[in-house]
């Protein structure tokens, strides 16, 4: 049978750079083919080449793209417009940017329907409603009259999918469809995509960097690196035994449950594509590379159900099973370094001419935490649950509405803020916005020492050189500007900046979420080393439970401004008790085949903190909710060894 989509030797160039270089693959109807790779490897460019929507200066240099046996690259632009949306459709990463904010979603879906199915008026409206039902939007008829800003991220992405389906495409290209979404929402959206694919017998090209998403959704997998396809195979074969060193290292770089040791990292960076490349493109970063790799580009070799481009295919040692090391326990006394009691951050909502306060956004509502010296507390939750606000309020970057912060047994008052800032510092999420582009790295590092008067002025330069070595920056980094560094190096600079005042607590606000897997591994290793060497305590704010598992000693799960479950990391993640934590853990796409308990899927979205539901905040989404949950907020239920939850259902079970 002829495949639905066949791509042969596709070469796409932007200027002098060959961003896609000789890529061949095929997608059958009803099949999901996943393109996997780190950022900058040419995955999205491959998709845009198929749609012929390349950015300025980009062109398909050679190759063939056949959709149902027709060469798409040979079509005129006029015919191509029928193909786009009609026979292949695309879903983009950022649903907010892909929807027009001033047109109702019904109108936007109607536009696609009018174009591809000649439906207008009532017929189009019915068709649109049917589409929304298909993608699982509750209350579809009403949602058609909403503007995009009235919808949550998950709903917006469903609207995007509905729009893409309006042309009844044969092939659906999903470019990182869930990267911008929370795990619970990601699980919902991926379920929708899976269901639609099998219902409509569509081919699906799934572009992602997330091995977990691939494992749960793809039938076949292609790994891209520096514009080339390196490896291809069925999902089962690929996950059982990845053949290419790059694929293997991607696996090893992934933080996984119960991993006590260091993560494997991939040294170096993706090569620049506008320079001539000889040999295997991965050779400079490959630990197995031999002389031949550097001179000769490897051809395809077939091993059972897999194809791989590597000179050493089949000869690499088998992947060692990952040892389940015991989590190392940092010695020393368990002294609470920081205690936060009853922290509240409310933002007033003002309306009207006189700016009267009409409501409060309860971003953080009565949060209490204890962080011990040299230990890591992870604060976990979906976006918008207030975890970043907690981090900033602890540092008093946001003035808390109520609550006390006790540092080292001494309460922090408004006058003692300098003391707090000597002891606690912050590492931010986005390494690109957290460094001033107009300041040299050395000046950035000096800033904190100067402001807080750390050490003698004369010693500070020497301290900076030490810091740079400590976080693994090159020696000449100080004289350069941030734009000269990659994302991972920038995050190292940000960590060095926080360490410059020798704090004892570092608040890490999603420090790895903007980074690729291999770079994330480097940063996580660094954080762990620093903790061992300097005895740092971390307040680690994240939504990535795999990272928590790797790094944290204790976990606090937040929902809508409150902590709902708290306990030792292994216990909370392995045996979650709160229904929300259970759903969160269950929603993470896993590489290992799912065994045991079935997947728990949360319905709906997190409500607004402006108007939280009465009783337990979680009850509208909770599968176990009953009358009590709707009325009263649950008290703490202690489960022993510092593990506690706030849940009527758990309390009733005891």
Partner 1 sequence: MSFMPVILWTDALILALLAGVLALVWFIRRHEHLRAPWRNVAQRPMAMGAALVLTAFVAIGLLDSLHYRERLPDSPPDAPQYSVEVLSVFDALVGELRTQQEKTYSAPLATRLYAKEFVERGGVTVRDYPRLQYGGAHLAHASEHLPDVVRRSLIGLAQGLAASLLLFGLLAAWQARRARLVFGAWLTAWWLGQLGWPGRTAAGMMALLLVLAGVIMQLAAGYHVLGTDKVGQDVLYISLKSIRTGLVIGTLTTLVTLPLAIGFGIAAGYFRGWVDDVIQYVYTVLNSIPGVLLIAAAVLIVQVYIESNPELFDTAAARADIRLLALCLIMGVTSWTGLARLLRGESLKLRTLDYVEAARAFGVSHARIISRHIFPNVFHLVLIAIVLDFSGLVLAEAVLSYVGVGVDPTMYSWGNMINGARLELAREPIVWWQLGAAFAFMFTLVLAANLFADGVRDAFDPRLGGRR
Which residues ranging from 501 to 520 are in contact with partner 1 (CB under 8 A)? 501
Q: By CB under 8 A, is residue 439 in contact with partner 1?
A: yes
For partner 1, the binding residue among 293, 494, 547, 588 (CB under 8 A) is: 494
Angstrom distance (rounded) from CA 593 to CA 131: 32
Give the one residue of 281, 285, 362, 497 binding partner 1; rule: CB under 8 A.
497
Return phi, psi of residue 562, to 5°. -130, 155
Q: Which helix (H) or strand (E) holds 116?
A: helix 105-117
448 binds partner 1 (CB under 8 A): yes
In the bound state with partner 1, the residue whose beta carbon lies nearer, of 436 and 532, is: 436
Closer to partner 1 at the Cβ: 333 or 399?
399
Restricting to residues 403-422, which ones interact with partner 1 according to CB under 8 A? Answer: 417-418, 421
Site membership for partner 1, residue 434 (CB under 8 A): yes
Q: Does 457 bind partner 1 (CB under 8 A)?
A: no
CB of 543 closer than 8 Å to CB of 367 = no
Q: How far is CA 440 from the centre of its chain?
A: 29
Tell whether residue 395 is a contact of partner 1 (CB under 8 A): yes
Is 74 an interacting residue with respect to partner 1 (CB under 8 A)? no
How many CB atoms sit inside 10 A of residue 189's CB? 24
Provide the strand spans (E) within 52-103: 58-67, 70-71, 88-91
- Check residue 430 for interaction with partner 1 (CB under 8 A): yes
Among 470, 439, 519, 53, CA closest to 264: 519
| Residue 274 C-beta: closest distance to partner 1, Å | 15
One of 426, 467, 495, 551 touching partner 1 (CB under 8 A): 426
CB 498, min distance to partner 1, A: 8
Size of the site for partner 1 (CB under 8 A): 30
Quick one: which of 326, 333, 438, 458 contacts partner 1 (CB under 8 A)?
438
Question: 321 vs 437, which CB is nearer to partner 1?
Answer: 437
φ and ψ of 466, to 5 deg: -60, -45
Which pair of tokens denotes residue 284?
């400079």
In Å, how far from its chain's centre is CA 563? 22
Among the listed ranges 240-248, 307-315, 495-503, 519-527, the one in contact with partner 1 (CB under 8 A) is 495-503
d(CA 75, CA 85): 15
**Closer CB to partner 1, residue 150 or residue 418?**
418
Least CB distance to partner 1 at residue 266 (A) = 26
| Residue (303 or 452) nearer to partner 1, CB | 452
Which is nearer to partner 1, 157 or 425 (by Cβ)?
Answer: 425
Q: Please say whether the beta carbons of 113 and 124 come within 8 A.
A: yes
Of 32, 34, 38, 43, give the one whose Cα is nearest residue 209. Answer: 38
Work out which of 397, 411, 610, 652 binds partner 1, going by CB under 8 A.
Answer: 397
Q: How many CA atoms lie within 13 A of 143 on its CB side?
A: 22
In the structure, how many helices (H) and strands (E) does the chain have? Answer: 23, 24
Q: Which stretch binds partner 1 (CB under 8 A): 71-79, 227-235, 389-397, 646-654?
A: 389-397
How far apart are CB 439 and partner 1 at their closest, in Å? 7
Q: How many residues does the chain have?
A: 654
Q: Using the rule CB under 8 A, is 437 a contact of partner 1? A: yes
Cα separation, 519 vs 269, in Å, equals 9
**Residue 648 in the binding site for partner 1 (CB under 8 A):** no
C-beta of residue 202 within 8 angstroms of C-beta of residue 169: yes
CA–CA distance, 197 with 89 (Å, rounded to integer): 13
Toward partner 1, which CB reaches closer, 306 or 434?
Answer: 434
- From CA 22, how far away is CA 4, in angstroms rounded? 20
Chain residues in the site for partner 1 (CB under 8 A) = 392, 395, 397, 417-418, 421, 425-426, 428-430, 433-439, 443-444, 447-448, 451-452, 481, 483, 494, 497-498, 501
């Amino acid at each position: 049978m002829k495949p639905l989509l066949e791509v042969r030797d596709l070469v796409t160039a932007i200027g002098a750079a060959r961003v896609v270089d000789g890529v061949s693959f095929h997608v059958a109807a009803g099949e999901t083919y996943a393109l996997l790779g780190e950022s900058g490897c040419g995955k999205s460019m491959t998709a845009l080449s198929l749609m012929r929507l390349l950015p300025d200066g980009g062109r398909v240099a050679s190759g063939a793209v056949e959709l149902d046996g027709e060469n798409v690259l040979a079509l005129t632009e006029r015919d191509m417009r029928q193909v786009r949306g009609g026979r292949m459709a695309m879903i983009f990463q950022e649903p907010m940017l892909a929807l027009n904010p001033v047109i109702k979603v019904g109108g936007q879906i109607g536009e696609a329907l009018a174009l591809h199915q000649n439906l207008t008026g009532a017929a189009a409206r019915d068709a649109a409603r049917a589409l929304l039902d298909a993608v699982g939007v509750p209350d579809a008829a009403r949602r058609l009259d909403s503007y995009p800003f009235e919808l949550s991220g998950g709903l917006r992405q469903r609207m995007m999918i509905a729009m893409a389906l309006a042309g009844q495409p044969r092939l659906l290209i999903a470019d990182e469809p869930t990267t911008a979404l929370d795990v619970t929402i990601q699980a919902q959206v991926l379920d929708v995509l899976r269901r639609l694919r099998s219902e409509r017998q569509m081919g699906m090209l799934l572009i992602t960097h997330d091995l977990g998403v691939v494992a749960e959704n793809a039938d076949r997998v292609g790994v891209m690196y520096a514009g080339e396809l390196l490896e291809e195979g069925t999902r089962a074969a690929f996950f059982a035994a990845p053949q290419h060193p790059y694929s293997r290292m991607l696996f090893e770089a992934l933080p996984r449950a119960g991993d006590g040791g260091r993560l494997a990292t991939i040294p170096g960076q993706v090569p620049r594509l506008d320079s001539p490349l000889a040999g295997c493109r991965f050779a400079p970063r490959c630990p197995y590379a031999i002389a031949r790799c550097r001179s000769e580009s490897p051809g395809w070799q077939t091993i059972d159900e897999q194809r791989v481009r590597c000179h050493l295919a089949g000869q690499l040692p088998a992947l060692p099973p990952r040892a389940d090391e015991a989590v190392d326990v940092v010695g020393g006394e368990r002294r609470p370094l920081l205690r936060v009691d009853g922290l509240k951050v409310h933002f007033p909502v003002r309306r009207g001419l006189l700016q009267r306060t009409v409501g409060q956004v309860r971003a953080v509502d009565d949060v209490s935490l204890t962080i011990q010296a040299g230990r890591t507390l992870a604060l976990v939750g979906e976006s918008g649950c207030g975890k970043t606000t907690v981090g900033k309020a602890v540092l008093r970057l946001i003035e808390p509405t109520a609550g006390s912060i006790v540092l080292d047994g001494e309460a922090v008052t408004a006058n003692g803020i300098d003391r707090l800032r000597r002891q606690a510092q912050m590492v931010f999420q986005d390494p690109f916005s957290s460094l001033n582009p107009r300041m040299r790295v050395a000046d950035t590092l000096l800033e904190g020492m100067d402001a807080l008067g750390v050490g003698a002025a004369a010693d500070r330069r020497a301290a900076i050189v030490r810091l740079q070595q400590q976080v693994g920056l090159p020696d000449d980094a100080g004289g350069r500007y941030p734009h000269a560094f990659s994302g991972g190096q920038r995050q190292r600079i940000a960590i060095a900046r926080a360490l410059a005042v020798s704090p004892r607590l570092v608040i890490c606000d999603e420090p790895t979420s903007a980074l690729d897997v291999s770079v994330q591994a480097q940063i996580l290793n660094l954080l762990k080393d620093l903790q061992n060497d300097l005895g740092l305590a971390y307040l680690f704010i994240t939504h990535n439970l795999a990272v928590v598992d790797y790094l944290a000693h204790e976990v606090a799960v937040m929902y809508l401004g409150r902590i709902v479950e708290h306990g030792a990391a292994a216990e909370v993640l392995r045996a979650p008790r709160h229904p929300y934590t259970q759903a969160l853990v269950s929603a993470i796409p896993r590489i290992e085949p799912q065994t045991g308990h079935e997947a728990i899927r949360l319905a709906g979205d997190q409500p607004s903190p402006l108007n939280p539901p009465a009783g337990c905040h979680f009850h509208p989404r909770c599968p176990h909710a009953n009358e009590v949950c709707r009325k009263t907020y649950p008290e703490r239920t202690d489960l022993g060894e510092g593990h506690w939850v706030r849940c009527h259902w758990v309390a009733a079970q005891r």
